[in-house]
Structure formats: C-alpha cells, structure tokens
A and B are shown apart, each in its own frame.
Chain A
Amino acid sequence: MPDRNEILNELKNRYKDEIVSFYDKSPRRVYIEIKSESIVNIASYIFKELKARFNVASAVDARSHIEILYHFTLEYLDLLISLRVKLDRENPTIKSLTSVFKGSNWIEREMYELMGINFEGHPNLKRLLLSDKWPEGVYPLRCDYKEWDNNAIRDRGV
C-alpha cells in the first residue's frame, strides 16, 4: 500500500495544471482547490484508482462565489481529502458526478434545491426535500435569501 506522501505527490504531479492550490492542513486532512472543469477527472481518479470512499459534498455561499467541497476518505491512510471548487455566483454550474458514483445523486439534488447550483448531466435534477409549494428560483441557504411567505408567523405570540 502506498503511503500518504506518495499518494499526494502522485496526485499533485498528475493534475498539476488543474490544481489551483494545495493545503495540507493536518496529517488527517488535505484541502485541494481545483478548476471546476476538471472535477469529473480528479474525482474519478480519487474514487476509482485511490479506492476512496465518497463521504458527502457540501456547498457554501461565500458571498463572492459559491464553493462546493467534495469530501473523500482514504480509510487505509486515515486521510480526508476535500476537493474545493469555486463557482460563479450568478450562474453556478458544474458537471454532475452521478455517472462516476451513484452516491452523489441525492446530495447534488439537495445542493440544487437549497443553493441553486446547476449540475450538468444529472439524470434526475429535481427537488429532494422542499415542499411542492416552494417557489421556483428561491434558494433558502443563499446569503441573500429573503422571506417570501407572507403568511409566516415569526413571533411567539407573547
């Protein structure tokens, strides 16, 4: 089994044009910022060649941009690799990873409904959790979310 340095160096060399920055936070945690076009390549390499487990993906609205963190665990190294992708806030679009691993299907649907991120090539990009009455184009976890429901009661009545 290759060790931690070998794996990370191989990753750095193989994708040196696609990696924007590399942050070795701790022995158990690495953040790699990559270009959003190359997510399918790098994620399939980590998932298929390095035999990582896809944990989850998380989206963050950072005001200047929207970023997605794809978390992969390499259990034989006790290492968590987070791939960071920065997306344009006006039109956040990225390729879907569902063709690589099915586990990303629902989390992409959730990010689509809560953050408004568009996943190209997703087989079934529709809402996952929100109510059917929720209006189109309103994303509750964005920073600029405003209350749209006039019937909502926001005081405790005391």
Chain B
Amino acid sequence: MSIRLNALLKSPWVFHVSTGSCNNCDIEVLDCLTPRFDIERFGMVLAPSIKHADVLLVTGSGNRKSMERVKKLYEQAPKPIVVVAIGECACSRGIFIHSYNCPVPLDKVIPVDVYIPGCPPKPEAIIAGVVKLIQKVKEKTKNNA
C-alpha cells in the first residue's frame, strides 16, 4: 500500500467530474491548469479516463441522475483513489440543499478525503487543498510504513 501511495504522490492523475454544477468551479479547475497557476508542476495531469486516475475531482451539487454515475465512477476507479470535493455544492450542496433533485450530499455516496469550500474556490485555494492532500497522503504512508 505504501509504495502505491508514494507512486500516487509523485504524479497524481486527476479525473474531473461535474455532477450538475453551474460550471464556475470547473472554470477554476481549468484555471489551475493554465500557465499562471500551473498545477502540473506538482505532477498533476488531467486523466482522460477514470481507469487511469489517482484522484477524483468532484464539482457540483449532485442531482439524482449524476449521483448514480459518480457512484459507478468510484467503483470503476483503481484503488487507492483520493476523492476531492471542490466548491460549496460538492461539500454540502450549498444553496441547493432543499432542492427536490439533490437529496443526498456527496460524502454520503462516496468517501471524500479533501473538501475545498468556496463559491467558487480560488485557484490558490484549490492548490492549498492539493498541498494538504499531498501532506495527508505522506502522513498515511509514514504511518503504514
């Protein structure tokens, strides 16, 4: 397990899924990849398929239809996988908490490791969250070793 997590730390491949968001968080995620913030210097690359991914980024409040898909994606992902909830909606459904179409929050459907709140979170906040995620994984590896 520890070797695998170490390997994951070197260059985490990220799969981004939007569960019915307003696209604002997705734009901030996209900003992180641009030269200005350049999250690729931490080795992060967007993965084209969940089967290649080490990190699952989730944005959006999660409606009845997309939550089923998120569950399937999590089942298909190679383990260990780290789940990052980006934005207020993915953390707690934000203003959509009483919506008829958003019955359960994301962390009741799949286990979430990192929450990055904000509407939308700034790219700096996303990078700070990512750094915390790397520290968390490092600690886990230390404890396991």
Chain A residues at the B interface, C-beta cutoff of 8 Å: 130-131, 133-134, 140, 145, 147, 149, 151-154, 156-157
* Dominant SS among interface residues on chain B: loop
CB-CB nearest 4 A-B residue pairs? A152-B103, A131-B64, A140-B100, A131-B65
> CA separation between A153 and B100, bound complex, in Å?
11
Q: A147 to chain B: which residues have CB within 8 Å?
A: 100
Q: Is B97 touching A156 in the complex (CB atoms < 8 A)?
A: yes
The minimal Cβ–Cβ distance linking A95 to chain B, given in whole angstroms, is 28
Chain B residues at the A interface, C-beta cutoff of 8 Å: 63-65, 68, 92, 97-98, 100-101, 103-105, 108
Out of A133, A134, A153, A154, which one reaches B108, CB within 8 Å? A153
Q: B64 to chain A: which residues have CB within 8 Å?
A: 130-131, 133-134
> CA separation between A129 and B63, bound complex, in Å?
11
Q: A151 to chain B: which residues have CB within 8 Å?
A: 103-104
Q: Nearest chain-A residue to B105 (Cβ)? A: A153
Task: List 11 extra interface pairs beyond A130-B64, A131-B63, A131-B101, CB under 8 A.
Answer: A131-B65, A140-B100, A140-B101, A149-B103, A151-B103, A151-B104, A152-B103, A152-B104, A153-B103, A153-B108, A156-B92
> CA separation between A157 and B97, bound complex, in Å?
12
